[in-house]
Structure 1
Amino acid sequence: MHEFNLPDMSCGHCLAAVTEALKSADGQADVQVSLEQKMVKVQSGLPREALAAALTEAGYPPAD
């Protein structure tokens, strides 16, 4: 399980965009988004770097 802090995520549209970006990278990914905590948890076979790249490309770069 990978966890990412997404400080730029602020609304329902953001939540949908984050989910879509991760599902596009890995259609089998289990994505759990918490808008309140600005956090996403992803169960995926892809490496963390690939998931972070998908989030960054969608406009939601993970914070360190």
Structure 2
Amino acid sequence: MTAITVDGMSCGHCEQTVKEALQAVSGVTSVTVNRETRQASVEGEAAVTALVEAVEDAGYTAHA
């Protein structure tokens, strides 16, 4: 599992947007996003840099 901190989520739609962005990354098998803790948990073989880039491309700030 890879944990990523995501800044900028303020609602359920934000969570869904981040989740969909992460699910689109090749190698991702499962994603859980929680705006309250600012965390995204990702299962699979995707590179951390690809995950962070996907979240940032969706309009949020992210770091591992």
Structure 2, unaligned stretches of length 5 or more?
A: none
Structure 1, unaligned stretches of length 5 or more?
A: none
| % same residue | 34
User: Higher strand proportion, which one?
Assistant: 2
The letter of the residue matching 1:3 is A
1:63: how far off?
4.0
The letter of the residue matching 2:18 is V
**Tell me, what secondary structure is at the counterpart of 2:46?**
coil
Q: Is the 8 A contact 1:31 1:42 kept in 2?
A: yes
Q: CA RMSD in A?
A: 1.7
1:61 maps to: 61
1:47 maps to: 47
CA distance in structure 1 between the partners assigned to 2:29 and 2:22 by the alignment: 7
**Tell me, what secondary structure is at the counterpart of 1:62?**
strand
Segments of 4+ moved more than 3 angstroms: none
Count of residue pairs brought into register by the alignment: 64
Normalising to structure 1: TM-score of the pair?
0.85
